[in-house]
A = this chain, B = another copy of it.
């Protein structure tokens, strides 16, 4: 099970491979938020999202003999690119199973990073069956997107950087808002901060209507989303929290926050204008929560994670037209 020792080991393996992303701020955003606000710009990570951390941790953490056969992953987006690049950097093959209707750019990027992309039809084909067959045939190791200890450890390296950067900025107590899908990033950061920064409280953020983690934390058991489409925050829409990630979040996280698609677009616009970074909708939920729903937070400093920037030009235009 993932713990701080495992996260430190992931950080040691990541040294020189995973990018240390900056903690940004702007007096203009502080004014809107009515508090000191810092943004962990994980959109600047390799492949444009934190997913590369978990992928690197998994690839570098499995036995060399297994790794040499290659890895396999299911993903329509950021996890795909993270695994593809981590595999290429290790010089081993990767197979990524993607839905045929995934955005063409994401398929193209994943292929360009050297992955063997296998497309399937969501309506008529069984993704898991295809994956099982390929894994068995080629001896591939499955890299799950979040419910996997090595992946959680990799995402947790974000928390190590946050703890160190917060100390440098003189932040002792803060709410740390994290965009939350299956909970890999949220639980990884929570494990680190519980160990290293007792004044830091992690609060997961989700899109309104796709708030499985928020509701699960409220009821104390795993709750599911009614639908999996209908939000522009596609990168963080998952059926439910993971079986490994949920107990960690239940133990260590404070209540979550839900924000609308509209608020995400407004937050993306302000990140463009004031921080000069490109944030994708799902990665903007934490920034949106502190900028527009501060009344639901405790007083004091906030660190918001901007977890990715893989957004197409049309969607980004929609955001920056807003004020």
Contacts and interface: CB of A to CB of B under 8 A. Distances in A.
Interface of A: 16, 19-22, 24, 27-28, 41, 43-44, 48, 85, 109, 112-113, 168, 269, 272-273, 275-279, 309, 313, 316-317, 320-321
B85 A276 contact: no
Contact of A278 (B85, B112, B278, B317): B278
Highest count of chain B CB atoms <10 Å: which of A19, A273, A279, A309: A273
Nearest to A280: B276
A273 B306 CA distance: 16
Contact of A276 (B24, B109, B168, B277): B277
The 3 nearest A-B residue pairs measured at CB: A276-B309, A276-B278, A313-B320
A48 B278 contact: no
A164 to B, nearest CB: 13
Q: Chain A binding site: helix, strand, loop or mixed by DSSP?
A: helix
A272 B320 CA distance: 13
Given A112-B28, A313-B320, A276 B16 contact: no
Contact of A317 (B43, B168, B317): B317
Contacts of A85: 27
A313 B27 CA distance: 20
A166 B279 CA distance: 27
A272 B276 contact: no
Highest count of chain B CB atoms <10 Å: which of A28, A113, A313, A316: A313
Contacts of A321: 313, 317
Contacts of A320: 313, 316-317
Contacts of A168: 16
A279 B278 CA distance: 11
A272 B24 contact: no
A22 B313 CA distance: 24
A277 B41 CA distance: 10
B113 A27 contact: yes
A173 to B, nearest CB: 20
A46 to B, nearest CB: 8
Given A22-B20, A22-B21, A276 B316 contact: no
Contact of A44 (B20, B275, B313, B316): B275
20 contacts: A16-B168, A19-B22, A19-B24, A20-B22, A22-B22, A28-B112, A41-B44, A43-B276, A272-B313, A272-B316, A276-B277, A276-B278, A276-B279, A277-B277, A278-B278, A313-B320, A313-B321, A316-B320, A317-B317, A317-B321
